[in-house]
Amino acid sequence: MDNKKIKALISLLDDEDTEVLLHVEKEILALGEGIIPFLENEWENNFNPIVQKRIEELIHTVHYDLLKVRLAAWKESGGKDLLEGMWIIATYQYPDLEIGKLRSELDQIYFEAWTNMKNEIHPFDQVKILNNVIFSQYRFSANTKNFHSPSNSMINIVLESKKGNPITLCVVYLLIAQKLNMPVYGVNLPNLFILTYKSDSVQFYINAFNKGLIFSKADIDNYLSHLNINPLDIFYQPCSNLDIVRRMLRNLSVSFEKLGDAVKVEEIKQLLDSISDGREIID
Residue pLDDT, tens place only, 6-18: 777 777 777 677 7
CA distance 107 to 84: 15
Regions of the chain where pLDDT drops below 70: 1, 15, 278-283
Q: What is the pLDDT, as a whole number, of residue 29?
A: 81
Q: What are phi and psi of 140, to 5 degrees?
A: -70, 140
CA distance 73 to 95: 17
Q: What is the pLDDT, as a whole number, of residue 152?
A: 94
Say what percent of the chain tops pLDDT 70: 97
Taking the domains of the chain in order of start, what are their residue ranges?
3-76, 82-274
Beta strands (DSSP E) in the chain are 141-142, 163-164, 184-187, 194-198, 203-207, 213-215
Q: What is the pLDDT, as a whole number, of residue 14?
A: 72
Residue pLDDT, tens place only, 37-55: 888 887 777 777 888 888 8
Give buried/exposed letters for 217-240 (b at 16+ CB in 10 A, else e): eeebeebbeeeeeeeeeebbebbe
The strand pair at 141-142 and 163-164 is best described as: parallel
Q: What is the pLDDT, as a whole number, of residue 219?
A: 97
Task: Report which of 79, 72, 73 is spatially closest to residue 186, judged by C-alpha positions.
Answer: 79
DSSP letter, residue 162: S
Beta strands (DSSP E) in 26-180 are 141-142, 163-164
Measured CA to CA in angstroms, residue 170 lies from 47, 68, 175, 255, 261 at distances of: 45, 24, 8, 18, 27
Task: Report which of 179, 216, 222, 176 is spatially closest to residue 194, judged by C-alpha positions.
Answer: 216
CA distance 90 to 103: 14
